[in-house]
Amino acid sequence: MSSRSFFLLAALAGSATFAAALYFQYVEGLAPCKLCMWQRYGLAVGIAGALIAAMTSGRAGRVTFGAIGALGFFAETAAAMYHTGVERKWWPGPSTCSGGNALPEVFDPAALQAAAERGKPIPQCDDIVWDFLGLSMANWNIAMALGFMALCMIGVGRVRRMA
């Protein structure tokens, strides 16, 4: 497989993950908490870097944007690991998003209103509102983001070896 294929696979798989997050938010009514949004920022940078690396023709551009993609996916992984620790009560989360009776600081007021109208809980960073096979969305996100990061790193390695 070529380096472009690795970058494109990372971008497409990352985009599918982003689409799934939007599905859960807008169709299932699970509003994202603050830490969920942090994960999305890293995911967006990773997708953009990987996509640009796949479309760039120059070696330096592919290496640079491939590395940016890997760093974005690394940031997503780090945020998901932090979120996992908060969910599992291993460490405290942000005071604006964990425990207590205070309304959490969430970046999407429309999603909060939609969740309230559907009777869904207002998201707290330390609550697991969805799981599959005993793993939360943040847990699954760690595995996926590490995979996307590995794809970018393999792509960068292939570009560098071809020089």
The CATH number given to whatever domain includes residue 11 is: 1.20.1550.10
135 phi and psi, to 5 degrees?
-115, 135
Bigger pLDDT: 115 vs 36? 36
- pLDDT, one tens digit per residue, over 56-76 is 988 888 999 999 999 999 999
* Phi-psi sector, 4: left (phi>0), alpha (psi -120 to 50), beta: alpha
Question: Looking at the 3D structure of the chain, how many domains does it have?
Answer: 1
pLDDT at 101: 40
| Tokens found for residue 102 | 């205070």
pLDDT at 120: 59
pTM above 0.75, yes or no: yes
87 phi and psi, to 5 degrees?
-60, -40
Domain that holds residue 34: 3-162
- pLDDT, one tens digit per residue, over 95-146 is 777 654 444 444 566 666 665 666 655 677 777 777 788 888 889 999 999 9
Which of the four pLDDT bands, split at 50, 70 and 90, describes residue 18? very high
